[in-house]
A and B are shown apart, each in its own frame.
Chain A
Amino acid sequence: MDAATGSERALCIANIWKARHPDAHLTVEVEPTLANVHGVGVDIAWPSSKGLVGRIEV
Chain B
Amino acid sequence: MTETSERFMATTPTEYRITTMTSTTADIVHPPIASAALEKYSSAATLSDMEIFIFPELLYALVLANITSPRLWRWREDPWFANLHKLSPYRRMLRLKQYIIDNYEFNLDLDTWGLTTQETELTRFEPWMSRDIIGQSNALFGYEGDKYYFDIDIRRHFGLDKYQGNIIPYWKTETLEAMDAFRHKPQYARGAGECVSLSTLYAAALFVICGVPLDDIFLLATPLHSQNFIDIGDGVLTNNRRLVTKNMWFNGTEQSAKAQRALRHEQVTIVGHHSGFVHCVYPEATINPAAYEHFSRAIHSYLSTNINMEIMANFLRDESVMQKCFQIQHERHGKQRYLPVERLYAYEHNSPYKVSDSTREKLLNEIDEDEFFSEPMEGRLLLNRFDEFFKNRQIDVSSPADIEKLANELKSDCSLTKNAVSRLVAFAKLEPRMPYREGHTKFVPAQALDLTPEMNREEIIARLESIRGSHVSADLSFYAARDFARIDWNPVVKAAMERNPVCIHDTETLSDHELIERIAALPNESIYDGTRVAQPDEVWNYGRGDGF
Residues of A within 8 A of B (CB): 1, 3-9, 11-20, 22, 32-33, 35, 40-42, 44, 46-58
Say whether, besides A7-B533, A8-B539, A56-B493, A50 and B503 are in contact (CB < 8 Å): no
Q: Is the CB of B14 within 8 A of A58?
A: yes
Closest residue on chain B to residue A14 by CB atoms = B497
Q: Which 10 A-B pairs have the closest CB atoms?
A: A3-B520, A6-B546, A9-B545, A12-B536, A8-B545, A57-B17, A8-B546, A54-B21, A15-B536, A51-B24
30 examples of A-B residue contacts, CB within 8 angstroms = A4-B524, A9-B519, A9-B522, A11-B536, A12-B500, A12-B536, A13-B519, A15-B503, A16-B503, A16-B536, A20-B504, A22-B12, A40-B512, A40-B516, A48-B546, A49-B547, A50-B23, A50-B484, A50-B530, A50-B533, A50-B546, A51-B25, A53-B23, A53-B24, A54-B18, A54-B20, A57-B17, A57-B19, A58-B15, A58-B17
**Which A residues touch B533, using CB under 8 A?**
7-8, 11, 50, 52
B11 touching A13, Cβ below 8 Å: no
Bound: A27/B19 CA distance, A: 11
Is A5 a contact of B524 with CB atoms below 8 Å?
yes
Residues of B within 8 Å of A44, CB to CB, are: 516, 520
| Contacting residues, chain B, for A54 (C-beta < 8 A) | 18-22, 484, 489
- Smallest CB-CB separation from A42: which chain B residue? B516
| Nearest B-chain residue to A57, judged by Cβ | B17
- Is there an interface contact between A55 and B504, defined as CB atoms closer than 8 Å? no
Nearest chain B residue, comparing its CB with the CB of A44: B516
How many chain B residues sit at the interface, stated as a range, is 35 or more
B interface residue numbers (CB < 8 A to A): 11-12, 14-25, 484-485, 489, 493, 496-497, 500, 503-504, 507, 512-513, 515-517, 519-522, 524, 526, 530-531, 533-536, 538-540, 545-548
Q: State in angstroms the CA–CA spacing of A7 and B534 once bound together.
A: 9
Beyond contacts A7-B546, A8-B546, A52-B22: 11 other A-B pairs, Cβ-Cβ < 8 A, are A1-B520, A9-B522, A9-B546, A11-B535, A11-B536, A15-B11, A19-B504, A47-B547, A52-B531, A53-B20, A58-B493
- Which residue of chain A is the closest to B27 with respect to CB atoms? A53
Give Cα A35 to B548, complex, Å: 12
Verify A16–B547 contact, CB threshold 8 A: no
Q: Are B23 and A12 in contact (CB under 8 A)?
A: no
A8 to B503, alpha carbons, bound, how many Å? Answer: 13
A55 surroundings in chain B (CB, below 8 A)? 18-20
- Residues of chain A lying within 8 A (CB to CB) of residue B14: 18, 22, 58
* A1 touching B503 in the complex, CB below 8 Å, given contacts A12-B545, A47-B548, A55-B20: no
Residues of A with C-beta under 8 A to B538? 8
* B497 and A52 contacting across the interface, CB-CB below 8 Å: no
Can you name the residue of chain A whose Cβ is closest to the Cβ of B489?
A54
- Complex Cα distance A7/B11, Å? 20
Which residues of chain B come closer than 8 Å to A40, judged between CB atoms?
A: 512, 516
Cross-chain contact B546 with A57 (CB below 8 angstroms): no
Instruction: Determine the distance from Cα of A48 to Cα of B532 in the docked complex, in whole angstroms.
Output: 12
Q: How far is the CB of B120 from chain A (nearest CB, A)?
A: 14
Q: Tell me the complex Cα distance, A43–B322, Å.
A: 72
Contact with B522, one of A5, A22, A52, A53 (Cβ below 8 angstroms):
A5
Residues of A within 8 A of B546 (CB): 5-9, 35, 48-50
CB-CB < 8 A to B513: which residues of A?
41
In the assembled complex, the CB of A39 is this many whole angstroms from the nearest CB of chain B, namely 12
Q: How far is the CB of B524 from chain A (nearest CB, A)?
A: 5
Residues of chain B within 8 A (CB-CB) of A1 are: 516-517, 520
Complex Cα distance A16/B538, Å? 13
B28 to chain A, nearest CB (A): 11
Closest-CB distance, B191 to chain A (whole angstroms): 19
Residues of B near A46 (CB, < 8 A) are 520, 547
Which chain B residues lie closer than 8 Å to A51 at the CB level? 23-25, 485, 530-531
CB-nearest residue of chain B to A37: B516
B15 proximity list for chain A (CB < 8 A): 58
Residue of A nearest to B493 (CB): A56
| Bound CA–CA A40/B535 (angstroms) | 19
Partner of B24 from the list A12, A14, A52 (CB cut-off 8 Å) is A52
Residue in A15, A32, A35 whose Cβ sees the most chain B Cβ within 10 Å? A15
Question: How distant is the Cα of A47 from the Cα of B14 in the complex, in angstroms?
Answer: 27
Cα distance A4–B521 in the bound complex, in angstroms: 8
**A11 CA / B547 CA spacing, docked (Å):** 13
Is A5 in contact with B520, judged by CB distance below 8 angstroms?
yes
> Considering the chains assembled together, what is the distance between the CA atoms of A48 and B484 in angstroms?
13
Most buried by A among B24, B485, B521, B540: B24
B515 x A16 contact (CB < 8 A)? yes
A2 to B, closest residue via Cβ? B520
The smallest C-beta distance from B66 to any residue of chain A, in angstroms, reads: 20
The answer to whether A11 and B493 touch across the interface, beta carbons within 8 angstroms, is yes
Query: Chain A contacts of B519 at CB under 8 A?
Result: 5, 9, 12-13, 16
A42 CB to closest chain B CB (Å) equals 7
Q: In the docked arrangement, what's the CA distance between A58 and B345, Å?
A: 65
Q: How far is the CB of A17 from chain B (nearest CB, A)?
A: 8
Let me know if A11 and B496 touch, CB within 8 A: yes
**Are the C-beta atoms of B540 and A12 separated by less than 8 Å?**
yes
* Smallest Cβ-Cβ distance to A31: which chain B residue: B24
Q: Which residues of A contact B23 (CB under 8 A)?
A: 50-53
* Minimum distance in angstroms from A32 CB to a CB of chain B: 4
Task: Tell which of B19, B507, B520, B526 touches A49, judged by Cβ atoms closer than 8 Å.
Answer: B526
Which of A9, A14, A17 meets B547, CB within 8 Å?
A9
Contacts of A19 in B (CB 8 A): 11, 504
